């Protein structure tokens, strides 16, 4: 079990809802993944028109917790307004906070991110900030009221995996009791397993599943990798060595 803002979930896998070839494929991917959270963008799916209403009905039928996000926002004010609209539409205080600062890498704007996080937490939101692996920025977000951090593995949609393992390990070690979700940039189940082995609490991905040749199979693969990685972390794995060590002892062997 994993808990965010006091809510326990049985799955440590979160999935996005964009880019799937069809609603049926999206539903099957969620079914086979067992994902406990679905992220969705208010900017992409308006609640008032028929298409938006149909999409929202599909998401409700998935039977998972909804995490609206502020994808595509480029200022604190824009993100706050989008979050307030999402709370009204989806009826949840949860919000994945994205404030983009760089058009090519989609890297968060750290200054606007902290500003928006403080405004939203003061307004009763439970904020999941999409951030980098920067320890100082993480500290500022926690001071602003965030109780969860969502550091990127790599830029959104790249599939590059964990591009700064040192930074992620440092972040995890610096705040051992803070729930953390590796968000963005994962392309393969093995990369998700690595994040879980490092002690992260969950992973969030979208493109790697939605754009796969068989999204449902890929979703199931990620689910199994997340479970395996978490199990390995809890098993207290051996430390790596620079030199070989025989697995079979030589004491007691016969000398010929």
215-245 pLDDT, tens digit per residue, is: 999 999 999 999 999 999 999 998 888 888 8
Q: Which domain holds residue 44?
A: 2-235
Rounded-to-5 percentages of helix, strand, coil across the chain: 40, 15, 45
Please check if 184 is assigned to a binding site.
yes
Quick one: average pLDDT of 133-148? 98
Q: Give the residue from 127, 108, 107 showing the smallest Cα distance to 117.
A: 127
* Per-residue confidence (pLDDT) for residue 253, from 0 to 100: 65
Please check if 206 is assigned to a binding site.
yes
- 75: CB partners within 8 A, 6+ apart: 99, 112
* Per-residue confidence (pLDDT) for residue 42, from 0 to 100: 75
* Per-residue confidence (pLDDT) for residue 58, from 0 to 100: 84
More confident residue, 61 or 252: 61
Residue 250 lies in a domain: no
As a dihedral over the C-alpha atoms of residue 128, residue 130, residue 131, residue 135, rounded to 10 degrees, the angle is 20
* Per-residue confidence (pLDDT) for residue 166, from 0 to 100: 97
* Per-residue confidence (pLDDT) for residue 51, from 0 to 100: 59
Residue 191 lies in a domain: yes
Quick one: pLDDT band at residue 45, thresholds 50, 70, 90?
A: low
- As a whole number, the mean pLDDT across the chain is 92
Residue 253 lies in a domain: no
Please give the tally of structural domains in the chain. Answer: 1
- pLDDT per position as a tens digit, 92-114: 999 999 999 998 889 999 999 99
- 252: CB partners within 8 A, 6+ apart: none
Catalytic residues: 96
* Per-residue confidence (pLDDT) for residue 252, from 0 to 100: 63
Residue 204 lies in a domain: yes
- pLDDT per position as a tens digit, 11-40: 999 999 999 999 999 999 999 999 999 999
Residue 246 lies in a domain: no
Please check if 164 is assigned to a binding site.
no
CATH number at residue 6: 3.20.20.70
Residue 256 lies in a domain: no
Phi, psi (rounded to 5 degrees) for 58: -60, -45
> Residue 217's Cα: distance from chain center in Å?
19
User: What pTM, to 2 d.p., does this model score?
Assistant: 0.90
Please check if 185 is assigned to a binding site.
yes
More confident residue, 52 or 97: 97
Tell whether the model's pLDDT for residue 251 goes beyond 90: no
Quick one: average pLDDT of 161-169? 97
* Per-residue confidence (pLDDT) for residue 220, from 0 to 100: 98
Residue 242 lies in a domain: no
Distance CA 206, CA 128 (A): 16
**What percent of the chain is modeled with pLDDT above 90?**
78
Residue 244 lies in a domain: no
**What sign results for the dihedral spanned by CA atoms 103, 219, 79, 82?**
positive
Phi-psi region for residue 202, left (φ > 0), alpha (ψ -120 to 50) or beta?
beta
């Amino acid at each position: 079990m994993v808990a965010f803002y006091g809510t326990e979930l049985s799955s440590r896998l979160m999935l996005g809802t964009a880019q799937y070839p069809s609603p049926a494929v999206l539903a099957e991917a969620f079914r086979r993944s067992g994902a406990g959270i679905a992220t969705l963008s208010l900017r992409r799916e308006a609640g008032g028109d028929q298409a938006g209403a149909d999409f929202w009905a599909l998401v409700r039928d998935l039977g998972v917790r909804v995490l609206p996000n502020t994808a595509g926002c480029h200022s604190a004010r824009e993100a706050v307004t989008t979050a307030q609209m999402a709370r009204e539409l989806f009826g949840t205080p949860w919000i994945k906070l994205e404030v983009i600062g760089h058009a090519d890498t989609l890297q968060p704007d750290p200054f606007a991110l902290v500003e928006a996080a403080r405004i939203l937490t003061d307004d009763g939101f439970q904020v999941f900030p999409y951030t980098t692996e920067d320890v100082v920025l993480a500290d500022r977000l926690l001071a602003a009221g965030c109780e969860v951090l969502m550091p990127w593995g790599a830029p959104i949609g790249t599939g590059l995996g964990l591009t700064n393992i040192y930074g992620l390990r440092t972040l995890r070690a610096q705040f051992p009791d803070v729930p953390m979700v590796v968000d963005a940039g994962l392309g393969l189940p093995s990369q998700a397993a690595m994040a879980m082995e490092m002690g992260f609490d969950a992973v969030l991905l979208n493109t790697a599943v939605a754009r796969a040749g068989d999204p449902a199979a890929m979703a199931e693969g990620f689910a199994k990798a997340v479970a395996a990685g978490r199990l390995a972390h809890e098993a207290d794995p051996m430390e790596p060595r620079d030199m070989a060590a025989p697995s079979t002892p030589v004491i007691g062997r016969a000398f010929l």
